[in-house]
Structure 1
Amino acid sequence: MIFNREFEFTLPRGFIDSQGKVHRKGLMRLATAADEVVPMRDFRAQQNPAYLPVLVLARVIVRLGELPEINAGVIENLFTADMAFLQDMYRRINEMAGEPVVNGVCPQCGCHHRIPLDFNDLKTFS
């Protein structure tokens, strides 16, 4: 069975670097057990369990725009809308067997459909 291990995304707002450049397009990979266990040893997560998602996302986001490195500092400086988007994406791609999909029903004929999720198909906030 071949399945996708990396998923492209486009952030709703984007990360703004020190030069003012906005980075919105990225790539997230499926998490491993180590991605969830190793950050638990970090003193920041031990002192504040709410910091754990920052560390996990820093491990599984492979690319964000043209940034040379993704680390906890990058994730810390995301807008809350982007953080919520990435946490939801993480949950969806890691908790579903196979490709991430949503179940839908056609309002006209009542047929049930499995619709693949596209994490790039977002409207930009103004």
Structure 2
Amino acid sequence: MTAVVETSAGLRTEYPFSLPRGYVDENGTVHRNGVMRLATARDEITTQADQRARQNPAYLTVLLLARTVTTLGSLVEVDHFVVENLFASDLAFLQDLYRRINADGHTEVGVSCPNCGHDFAVDVAGDAPGGS
């Protein structure tokens, strides 16, 4: 898995993840592990100006993910075609990850143990020790 990138100020800019199902390429190879980077203002502005997003606002998600998912398995490039062909569960996973790292600033979610009630955090990106 790709190493987590931090700036000299300690800002985390890349987030490794494992897709629930994985992208299946034209050869039948499944690609699950990847990296998403923090979005920039340019990512947001450029994608909103794209004609495909103007014609279909739901397509904005595809464009944003194609810009911010920097690696996926052994694929040379993650483009809109790859994102369009993700399974719905993987698309939903990446949408949630995008929201978490760009709005919330982290990939952790608070949970409680159903047996003892202890509260703890789980890294939903799957890059924490013992992650998916």
Q: Does 1:101 pair with 2:117? A: no
**How far does residue 38 in structure 1 lie from its aligned partner after superposition?**
0.3
Q: TM-score by structure 1 length?
A: 0.84
Q: TM-score by structure 2 length?
A: 0.81
Equivalent residue, structure 1, for 2:5 = none
Q: Unaligned 5+ residue runs, structure 1?
A: none
In the alignment, residue 57 of structure 1 is paired with which amino acid? L
Off by >2 Å, runs of 4+ in structure 1 = 99-108, 110-113
**What is the aligned-residue identity percentage?**
48
* Per-residue CA distance 1:61-118 (angstroms, 9 max, x = gap): 0100000011101100000000000000100111124x4333345664x6654x2514
CA-based RMSD of the aligned residues comes to 1.8
Q: Does 1:117 pair with 2:117? A: no
Aligned pair count reads 119
In the alignment, residue 101 of structure 1 is paired with which amino acid? E
Q: Unaligned 5+ residue runs, structure 2?
A: 1-8
Distance 2:87 2:124 in 1: 21
Distance 1:111 1:64 in 2: 35
* Per-residue CA distance 1:40-80 (angstroms, 9 max, x = gap): 11111111001000000000001000000111011000000
Pairwise mapping of residues 51-70 of structure 1 onto structure 2 (< 5 A)?
A: 51-70=59-78
Equivalent residue, structure 1, for 2:93 = 85
Equivalent residue, structure 2, for 1:37 = 45
